[in-house]
Amino acid sequence: MAEHPRRFSIGYALAPKKQKSFIRESLINLSRDRLIDLIKIDTDIPLIDQGPFDCILHKLYGDDWKKQLVDYKAKNPNVVVLDAPESIERLHNRISMLQAVSELKIVQNDRETETFGIPKQIVIYDAETLRDHRSWDGLKFPVIAKPLVADGSAKSHKMSLVYNHGGLSNLKPPIVLQEFVNHGGVIFKVYVVGEYVKCVKRKSLPDVSEEKLESLGGLVTFSQVSNLASNEKTDEKYYKKMHLDDCEMPPQEFITDIARGLRDVMKLNLFNFDVIRDTRLGNRYLVIDINYFPGYAKMPSYESVMTDFFWNVVAKNERREVAENEESGERKLVDNIGC
Ligand SMILES: Nc1ncnc2c1ncn2[C@@H]1O[C@H](COP(=O)(O)OP(=O)(O)OP(=O)(O)O)[C@@H](O)[C@H]1O
Ligand SMILES: O=P(O)(O)O[C@H]1[C@H](OP(=O)(O)O)[C@@H](OP(=O)(O)O)[C@@H](O)[C@@H](O)[C@@H]1OP(=O)(O)O
Ligand SMILES: [Mg+2]
Ligand SMILES: [Mg+2]
């Protein structure tokens, strides 16, 4: 009798909004065709009582969830958890998040003139430090004030563009004050899925000229500028409407090197990062934000990219398991012969 090919099972635990945008029929069907079943994890039932899963895909936080993952892994040592909660955690703080960029060790070739880094930034933990001008004296206005915590809450996305020191008094620490860098109103979003890297353009905040800065007072607040309705973004009309066509992309190899470097340093497979190009220099790129498990459905052909990745993860794991079993079988045989 012919043996049935092995099917794989991936459990997903996502917030309702993420589930709605990411787990589309098209993704379920394509994965199913490749022998991968995407199964919803019921967060009202202990994880340990569900499955078995070859892989768990998640974007949920908290100590209880972390413990559930640890317990599940203890019982099912071969499960692949994407990604490890300890690796995701550094992205919940906007300082440790961007420190990953300074940890990169990229050897640039002589032909490359592009450089990368992060904007100048400081962290302010309390109102007293915010009032003390010595804390922010070294910063050039305008600055963007970002909540220190980046935990996915609406609050963590609420930003302020602060034009002068007068505007600082309205802010609520703990915050990061980051120099605003003019970048021609276009941001590059780099999506990473394991080895796969895709860079797309999005509309960003417009430049602030010196003259405009003098005439402006205080601050202006905003939230998730680049996150318009998701169907608009893959649309060609979106590019035309936003005049994004005219903007040159950064060199692919340069971006891929940064993406792979970040993946290794952070030990993450699923993330994106935002990059802006300093208009004064033209070849200096700054990473301003890194997000765990971003809106992949906005990435072109996301279904096939994700399915290929899932397949690589589960099939590679399966091969490792088989090899380990064979190895321990051989060892047993040797032990028995030795007896
Ligand atoms: N240093 C900067 N200089 C210029 N523009 C910036 C800077 N930092 C942020 N921005 C603009 O503000 C937007 C929001 O900032 P950021 O990406 O840090 O916030 P976020 O809430 O974490 O975003 P996301 O929705 O991608 O998670 C950016 O997309 C970009 O348009
Ligand atoms: O809303 P979308 O699905 O499009 O994805 C956004 C995602 O929201 P979600 O995780 O609630 O879905 C955000 O995550 P949190 O910081 O809020 O955790 C953040 O990663 C954004 O950068 C994503 O937008 P993108 O960077 O891809 O444009
Ligand atoms: Mg961002
Ligand atoms: Mg972010």
C-beta of 272 in contact with ligand 1 (< 6 A): no
| Ligand 2, pocket-test mutation among 14, 18, 83, most atoms within 8 A of CB | 18
pLDDT at 212: 82
Known binding-site residues equal 18, 59, 94, 146, 157, 178-189, 204, 274, 289, 291, 295
Dihedral pair phi/psi, residue 27, rounded to 5°: -75, -45
pLDDT at 239: 62
What span, in angstroms and rounded, lies between the C-alpha atoms of 316 and 323? 11
Instruction: Return the sign of the alpha-carbon dihedral for residues 304, 306, 308, 314.
Output: negative
Query: DSSP characters for 61-117?
Result: -SHHHHHHHHHHHHH-TTPEEES-HHHHHGGGBHHHHHHHHHT------TT---EEE
Q: Shortest CA distance to 200 belongs to which of 182, 174, 227?
A: 227
| Ligand 1, pocket-test mutation among 188, 201, 205, most atoms within 8 A of CB | 205
pLDDT at 220: 83
Q: How far is CA 144 from the centre of its chain?
A: 20
Closest Cα to atom 13 of ligand 1: 225
What span, in angstroms and rounded, lies between the C-alpha atoms of 278 and 115? 11
Residues within 5 Å of ion ligand 3, judged at the Cβ atom: 274, 289
Q: ∠38-193-285 over CA atoms, to 5°?
A: 155
ipTM of the complex: 0.94
Ligand number with the minimum distance to the CA of 177: 1
pTM for the whole thing? 0.91
Which residues have C-beta within 8 Å of that of residue 254, sequence separation ≥ 6?
A: 112, 114, 116, 285
- Residue 231 Cα to ligand 2 midpoint, Å, equals 14
**Per-residue DSSP letter, 303:** H
What span, in angstroms and rounded, lies between the C-alpha atoms of 89 and 94? 11
pLDDT means over runs of 10, the chain (339 residues): 81 97 98 97 98 97 97 97 98 98 84 91 96 92 96 94 90 97 97 98 92 79 64 60 82 96 98 98 97 97 98 86 74 51
pLDDT at 26: 98
C-beta of 234 in contact with ligand 2 (< 6 A): no
C-beta of 155 in contact with ligand 2 (< 6 A): no
Both tokens of residue 280?
């004064």
